[in-house]
Structures are given as structure tokens and as C-alpha cells.
Amino acid sequence: MNTRVVRWRLFIAVVAIANVVLVVFALGTFWAERTLDAQNFAHNSGNCFVYPITLFTPSDTMESTASRVKIFEDDTLLEPGHAQHEAIRQIGQGRFSHWGEQLYMSSSDNSDPRTNGRVYKIVYPLRPPSSVIGISLLLTAFVLPFAAPTRERRKTIYKRFHFPIMAISFSAVLLLIPMEMFLRTDYSKEHVFGAFQRLPSKLQPTVNEQGYRDREHERDNHDGSIRIVILGDSFTFGDGVADDEIYPRILQGQVGGNVEIITLARDGWGTADELAALRRDGFSYHPDIVVVGVVTNDPSPRITEPQGQSAPWIVFQSITPNMILFRLLDFRLNVLAENSGWKYGYTDWERDLYDPGKRYRGAWERTVMELSQELLLHRISAYAFLLIGPAQANELSAWKFKILDDVFSKAGFSTHNLLESYTSTFQGVTPTSLFALPDDPHPGREVHKFYANELWKVLKPETEKRVKSLGR
């Protein structure tokens, strides 16, 4: 055996060993430890503190709980991990989440980790990105034929196996890289494929100290303005639209300087969460009017409780969670599965929210009544607006709005179903053109303008009457 062949075989052996090491790392065999600097914690809201950190390991995403990070307070393991950020804010008690390049966490007793004198450290598995492993395997495949003992044997391997495999691999890479780069642009996120949980820069929400998408408001009403508090979920928070395009901001521009709009809304909230927010924050603003932005999934339990939704299928992202293209493929696969009835999806879950035989309906109706009684006790005018989204403006959803209308009306709210007005306003308009983003059926900017106009039509008489009573 000549020296050249020996060298090639040694080289390939080294590459093979390197691949084995990478695979072992990918399985999370090796763990690292890092102590957190107390001064780098920032208060997010409630009991939640945020720590910026970049780790050589996957984090949780909207689609998967991939993180295996553990957090210790002194020598005590904090738990549970993978917690809802709202649960961390409201309950805390050691809940945490590794999300992107940040840790969202709370101390065991909800004290401030910056000043409580405790040492916080994290332990996490070292895991290389799947792309690194893929490149290494391609490199191995590229050099493998050169380990053959004869030139004829190398040619045979190259023609039968090596060339087709490498041609397919490199063709795939040449297609994937430009596609992935395009998917990461703001233009693609906003106009072509969607955000896939990474919003375009101009649509990133700006929140106040309490985590609401609103400016800061004084608790005491020093200037004696009329105050309207709006309760809601992601429709009111404004997923997929810019700060100045959400309907509470538009409404603030319509009502005049003697009226103050205060928004208490967060993603995923139902009526139970909105009641909790009103008690926790809303009453302290001494509102004159409270508006509830009602949507079809409001009968869901509090966000701090199990929701009962089926987890999305994770197929392509099991290869790598870092590629937007794979999130796109999984998104489309889940849409196909739900539409085809292959899995218990969001539509099935939302239908079950209204089933009297399930655990949701009765508890929700009691919550609506409790919310009404709280407002009546504080002598606050109560309005409920049924917010129609582009995906709900059809006959299949009409029965849900009838139930929402009946429940809020019976509880004593001045209830306004916007379905008929929505249908009239957007007649002939393609529903998808009203989406916030191509992959996000939340209401877009035109629908938010519609909401603001409809709310002001109803609220204007009482609001102007209250302003006149102030002598202004």
C-alpha cells in the first residue's frame, strides 16, 4: 500500500472521528455551566426578569420546547421550565423559559435576583447546529472515494455513488441557501411568506413597564380626563401590525385630548385573564368605561392553566430548529393536517370551547358574569365588542358569535356584534389580503381601522356626554 493511500485513509479516519464527536455533541452528551451576573438581569414585568444570553444549544420556540437549559438558585434547581411568559410574570415562583437569546425567569420567592444575594447559574448541553453536522458529513462524502486503494476503484465509487450523491446535495444547498436568505428578509416576512414568529423590524411591538402595548399611564387621574380601559388578547395587542396601527392607538387619535385610552391586552388571553388584569391593573386607573374586545377563543382557561390544545407536529424542524424554511414546511404540513382532519387541531379545540359538556363553557360563562358584576360594583360602564377577524368572517363562525353575543348581553354588557358591519365593509375583499401577515390570520391594519371606527360610533355619545359634564 503506497504512502498516498495511507495518508488519505488517516485523513478520512480523522474526519470520521470528528463526525462522531459532532454527533455525540448533537445528542447532548456534554454539558456546560455558567454563572449569571446579577447586574445583567432586567425587570420585564411582574415577577419576570430577563437575562440576555447566547448559548451553543437550541432554545424554545413557538413550535417546539427544544431547550434543555437548567437554572439553579444557589444549589436549588428552579422549575418548571418551558413556562408561559405570562405565567412567569403573574405567578413566578421559579418558573423560567429559555427563549431565543434570552432567559425569562423568576426567583423561587419572587424576589429581585439583582438584589436578593443569591447565585444563579445555568447548566446546558453543548449542541452544534445541524448545519455544522451536515457540512461535516458532506465533506466526508466528498473525500471518501480517495481512500480506495486503486485509481480504478476510486473511479467506480465516484461514478456509482459519489457523483450522484454530491450532485444532489450541492444542488439542494444551492437552492436552500438563497431561499433561506430571502425568507429572513423583512420583505418576505411582511409580504410573501410571513413572519414565522420573527416579526419584521417595523412590526416589533413596543411595550410599557407592565408588558402592555401602550404608553405609560399615571395611576392617578390628575388632569381629570375620561378614561377608557380596553381589555383584550392578541387582536387588541395587535399581532403583525405596527404600534401606531393597532385600533386602541387609532381610537386615541379619534377621541380627543380629554379622553385617555388605556390598553390591557396580551397574546393568548381569554376572558379569565382579562378579569385578572382588570383586578390587578385596570381598577387602579379609575376608568369610567371598560371595553372588552371579544374573540372566538375567549372561553379558554387562564393562560397560566393547561389549555388543552394539541401540540403542532414537528417534522422538518426536528432536523434543525434554526431554519425558517423548515418552520414554513412544518406550518404548511400542520395546516394540511388540520384541514384534512388528520389531527386534533386548533379548529377542533375552539369548537370544544363552546361545548357545554366540556370543561370550558360553564367556567367561562361564570367568568363573564363575574366581570360584569365587578364593573357594576365599581359603577363603570361596560361594553363588549365582538371583533371579527379575516378568518372568522364566514357562516361557519356565525354560531360562535351568537353565543358570545348572548352570554355577554345576558351578563349586562352593552354588546355589539361587528359581523354584519364587517361583512358589509369588506364585501368582495379577499380575506387573506386582510391578514396581518401572509402566515398570520390576525387582523391587519385595515381591519384595525375598522375596529376603531366601529368602537367610536358606539362610544362617542357617552364619551362626549361625560366630557361635557366636566365643563370642557
DSSP code of residue 147 = G
Whether the CB-CB separation of 50 and 41 falls below 8 Å is answered with: yes
Alpha carbon 141 to its chain's center? 40
- The per-residue pLDDT for 29 is 61
Higher-confidence residue of 472 and 425: namely 425
Which cell is 129 given? 447546529
Alpha carbon 404 to its chain's center? 25
- The per-residue pLDDT for 25 is 64
Mean pLDDT score across all residues of the chain: 87
Sign of the CA dihedral with 207 first, then 208, 209, and 211 last:
negative
CA distances from 131 to 56, 135, 405 (A): 13, 6, 51
pLDDT at 14 over 80: no
Q: How confident is the model at residue 153 (pLDDT cuts 50, 70, 90)?
A: low
Closest CA to 69 of 40, 98, 41: 98
- The per-residue pLDDT for 63 is 61
Residue given cell 434570552 in the structure block: 102
Q: How confident is the model at residue 172 (pLDDT cuts 50, 70, 90)?
A: confident
Highest mean pLDDT among 53-57, 273-277, 310-314, 392-396: 273-277
The CA distance from 138 to 222, in Å, is 68
Higher-confidence residue of 259 and 20: namely 259
pLDDT at 68 over 90: no
- The per-residue pLDDT for 110 is 94
Percent of the chain with pLDDT strictly greater than 70:
86
CATH topology of domain 201-309+345-469: Rossmann fold (3.40.50)
DSSP string of 329-369, one letter each residue = HHHHHHHHHHHHTSS--HHHHHHHHT-TTSSSHHHHHHHHH
96-120 pLDDT, tens digit each: 999 888 999 999 999 999 999 999 9
- The per-residue pLDDT for 399 is 94
216: burial class by Cβ within 10 Å (0-12, 13-18, 19+)?
exposed
Which cell is 126 given? 453543548
Percent of the chain with pLDDT strictly greater than 90:
57
In terms of phi and psi (left: phi > 0; alpha: psi -120 to 50; beta: otherwise), the region of 256 is left
pLDDT at 468 over 60: yes
pLDDT at 318 over 60: yes
- The per-residue pLDDT for 74 is 93
The CA distance from 381 to 421, in Å, is 23
Q: How confident is the model at residue 394 (pLDDT cuts 50, 70, 90)?
A: confident
398-427 pLDDT, tens digit each: 999 999 999 999 999 999 999 999 999 999
- The per-residue pLDDT for 32 is 86
Taking the model in full, what pTM does it have? 0.79
- What lies within 8 Å, CB to CB, of 464 at 6+ separation is none
Alpha carbon 329 to its chain's center? 18
Which range, of 72-86, 132-146, 251-265, averages the lowest pLDDT?
A: 132-146
